[in-house]
Structure 1
Amino acid sequence: MTTTPADTVPAPRQTLRVALSDPTLKILASAILVSTVGRGIFLTLTVLYFSRFVGLSAVEIAVILSVSSGVGVATSYLGGRLADRFSARRLLVGMVAVQGLAIATYTFAGNFITAVVIACITVGVDRGANATRSAIIARAFNGPNRVNARAVLRTITNLGIATGGMIAGLALLAGTADAFRGMMISAGVVYILSALHLRRLPTRVDAPRHDPANPAPKRGASPFRDRRYVLLTVLSGIFGMQFGLAEMGVPLWISQDTSAPDLLISVVLVINTLCVVLLQVPLSRGTDDPRRAGKIVMTGGALMAVACALYALAGGAPVIAAVVLLCGAALLHSFAEILSQAGAWGLSFELANPVQAGAYQGMFGMGSALGAMLAPLVVTATVVDHGPLGWAILAVVFLASAAGIALIARRASTTTALA
């Protein structure tokens, strides 16, 4: 294996600049940057808005999140299937615009039932749009460029959400219902603006049209009959619960079970954001090779297991030791997240039937949606209820799911070599 001299390795900013020289990726990235600013505003304010101004209880809010996540599991696959049958460009434009309208209408949710309906529309359309966007990437790029595109877009997503979260701080400072409503309506408008920009995508991102003069390409069996891909989807969804752990489990653990100050919750978030922005693109290189993708996911699983151990050790440590352990755990957690995502993206593209790009990417998105839906329950049943034992259980779960993905990748690379 050849190595690149250190002085020739491009900086993250240069890497992004080179990647964004592609017109299609530039359109997707600029649209995502705009929409995720709105998403950052939305994520920061929604739960507080329901609690403070609508008067919903914590249980009602949890039900809203779980039910809407369940809808997202179904719409992930539906979005991918539709992207194989209709114009993926127009479909994505329409979904993002509908999502913007739904976010703006959150301000009219005055009771539990209305909030559930709006949340289901918002999350459902969001998951469908994600699957459609993945299908577009699968068609617009090839080989390593697909994973690179996903890495660039994820970097842009983190920047946008962080920016939106800071903007939402203005509403938090004001603390009034009108400030919350005005900011959430603005988030919806931002989504609609990003949808208009997506209209510039080229026609080549659409599924091939059926030509009566030529026989249609053989589409093969449903992705649900592809056992290898189904298993990859399930295992990736299980490992994806680490997002729920970061969003819910780690903040609760820091505030309730360690001697560290609550301010460390923000520090952990900053560590994660910086790592993703700086490292997601360079660490995603080469994952179009299934064997390398599998090794990267396995490395991520090992780092995640060590991170769980450090989180657990912080529970009984003095303040300074707890802060050091938690920051170390957050750093390893961030690397595990970056590597697992990079490897899973590569496998999700390389092991899919390219003729059914939408259906396969839609099913892979179902795994992520299912992991997001189950994560709060799993985190509660492990870390929240059982402390260090719960962390140990999660470490085993993450390590086992990573090992399963690595095994799939190794067998896939062996099969390809033999062929």
Structure 2
Amino acid sequence: MINRTLLLISLVSRLGTGIAASVSALFVTQVAGLSLRSVGLALTAATAVAVAASIWLGHLADRLGAREMYAGLLALQAAATAGLVLVRDVGGYVMVVLALAVADLGQRSAQGTVIHAVVAPDQRLATRARVRVAANLGFAGGAGLGGIVLAVDTPAAYQGGLLATAVLLLITLALVLRLPRVPAVTSPTGSWEVLRDRPFVLFTGLNGLLNIHNPMLIVAIPLWIAVGTDAPHWIVSVLLGVNAIGVVLLQIRLTRGTDSVAGAARAGRRAGVLLALACAALSLTGRTSIAVTVALLVLASIVHVGGEILESASGWGASYALSPPGLVGQYQGAHAMGRGLGDLIGPTLFTAIVIPLGLTGWLLTAATFATAGILTPAVLRTAAPPATPDPHTLPAEPHDRRPR
């Protein structure tokens, strides 16, 4: 029952965010009348603030109760999404996107803490993998609904899409409240205690570097296809489809065995190698004939999705295995901060350095991925998993109990 609720939460929330992702940019530029430069600066600033607050948000999940924190952030996201329809100036937009960025990053740590508490230890990674598959399916469905809004292309349609997202987020909130309550932790630890764990901090930095695969897929590859290759522009949708299908088919399988520090280390190393190989393939596409270019792009996309899945599994496994009692939220927040840094620096890195340098830029990116992957096991070898049970963890449900 709990696992089914977690899957529904992921599916419904991402159905809504898929709609919003499809229509929000066009709404604020074409209906609200904001400039592209203003939108870009506001999004970057809001993401930077949210990334800086990630650990503190995870700390609040520990202190207030992760389920209540999760529900509260969903309420904030729903209110901000609905408020977006009222935006007509830059000041209002900044307030809305700041609330959305904080809600998004805060939910990552709250969701991770909830799963840690309500799911049996030997099922946590498998559950996170299934949750991610549900998220991808939901986002794809939401993007399809958003496409209908874009086809209608009227202010009322855009507003309706955003309000529909807000409603779906409120439904998600109700589903979250069906989960068992996660006890708040009252032990007197500081809100930045995780920063004293040097191996974990180094790991989150390496994991964040690997996470630039996300803006690589969404920003860099489409731009590179347009300005650096002779491939038809429609191939972008094919590559995104390959990625979505790959996650659905492989996420659960490739996540197996990553629920220990050693397993997370292996996954991180393999992720770095695969992402480096994807970049190496992309580096050749600026100099090949169209048929070879398309083949290399598809190959790079297939290899990329393997690296993406293993990077996620490595982050989940290490952040759970290394979380001390009472600090699961903080560790989930630090993990979210590392990934958020990757999302933050990635677009600028690719647009200002990698794409202008072409082959050299892609090879430098390949070297970055490979280095981060190779260093991950070395860093995690110095980390020590906690020896005592975590107070967040709830007793197993009767049907989850194992014979002793």
Q: TM-score, normalised by structure 1?
A: 0.88
The answer as to whether partners of 2:55 and 2:192 remain within 8 angstroms in 1 is no
1:105 matched to 2:76:
no
Mean Cα displacement is larger for which, 263-272 or 338-347?
Answer: 338-347
Report the Cα distance in structure 2 between the residues aligned to 1:138 and 1:130, rounded to whole angstroms: 12
After superposition, the C-alpha distances for 1:397-417 in whole angstroms (9 at most, x for unaligned) are 11111112121233448999x
Report the Cα distance in structure 2 between the residues aligned to 1:53 and 1:171, rounded to whole angstroms: 14
| Residues 167-178 of structure 1: pairs in structure 2 closer than 5 A | 167-178=145-156
User: Which residue of 1 is the match for residue 245 of structure 2?
Assistant: 274
1:245 matched to 2:216:
yes
After superposition, the C-alpha distances for 1:62-101 in whole angstroms (9 at most, x for unaligned) are 1122011112213322221111111222221121022011
After superposition, the C-alpha distances for 1:278-327 in whole angstroms (9 at most, x for unaligned) are 11011101111222221222111111111001111111211111110100
- Equivalent pairs counted in the alignment come to 387
After superposition, the C-alpha distances for 1:190-210 in whole angstroms (9 at most, x for unaligned) are 11111011111112x3335x5
Aligned partner (choices 183, 206, 218) of residue 183 of structure 2: 206
1:139 matched to 2:110:
no
The answer as to whether partners of 1:288 and 1:346 remain within 8 angstroms in 2 is yes
The answer as to whether partners of 1:229 and 1:352 remain within 8 angstroms in 2 is no
Identity %: 32
CA gap 1:356/1:236 in 2 versus in 1, 3 angstroms = same
User: Which residue of 1 is the match for residue 319 of structure 2?
Assistant: 348
1:236 matched to 2:214:
no
Aligned partner (choices 195, 205, 208) of residue 224 of structure 1: 195
| Residues 240-319 of structure 1: pairs in structure 2 closer than 5 A | 240-319=211-290
Report the Cα distance in structure 2 between the residues aligned to 1:64 and 1:206, rounded to whole angstroms: 36
Aligned partner (choices 384, 389, 392) of residue 355 of structure 2: 384
Aligned partner letter, 1:107 = V
Residue segments in structure 2 that go unaligned for 5+ positions in a row: 388-404
Aligned partner (choices 272, 295, 302) of residue 324 of structure 1: 295
User: Which residue of 2 is the match for residue 11 of structure 1?
Assistant: none
Aligned partner letter, 1:330 = S
CA gap 1:192/1:415 in 2 versus in 1, 3 angstroms = closer
The answer as to whether partners of 2:230 and 2:286 remain within 8 angstroms in 1 is yes
Aligned partner letter, 2:126 = N
SS in 2 for 1:146: helix
User: Which residue of 2 is the match for residue 62 of structure 1?
Assistant: 40
Residue segments in structure 1 that go unaligned for 5+ positions in a row: 1-22, 211-215
User: Which residue of 1 is the match for residue 11 of structure 2?
Assistant: 33
User: Which residue of 2 is the match for residue 366 of structure 1?
Assistant: 337
CA gap 1:334/1:136 in 2 versus in 1, 3 angstroms = same
Report the Cα distance in structure 2 between the residues aligned to 1:329 and 1:155, rounded to whole angstroms: 21
Report the Cα distance in structure 1 between the residues aligned to 2:160 and 2:178, rounded to whole angstroms: 29
Aligned partner letter, 2:62 = D
Q: TM-score, normalised by structure 2?
A: 0.91
Report the Cα distance in structure 1 between the residues aligned to 2:358 and 2:155, rounded to whole angstroms: 37
The answer as to whether partners of 2:42 and 2:94 remain within 8 angstroms in 1 is yes
CA gap 1:167/1:218 in 2 versus in 1, 3 angstroms = closer
Report the Cα distance in structure 1 between the residues aligned to 2:309 and 2:349, rounded to whole angstroms: 22
| Residues 117-156 of structure 1: pairs in structure 2 closer than 5 A | 117-156=95-134
1:196 matched to 2:153:
no
- How far the C-alpha of 1:356 sits from its partner, in A, is 1.0
The answer as to whether partners of 2:265 and 2:377 remain within 8 angstroms in 1 is yes
Aligned partner (choices 50, 56, 69) of residue 72 of structure 1: 50
The answer as to whether partners of 2:56 and 2:191 remain within 8 angstroms in 1 is no
Mean Cα displacement is larger for which, 63-72 or 137-146?
Answer: 137-146
The answer as to whether partners of 2:28 and 2:34 remain within 8 angstroms in 1 is yes
- Alignment root-mean-square deviation, CA: 2.0
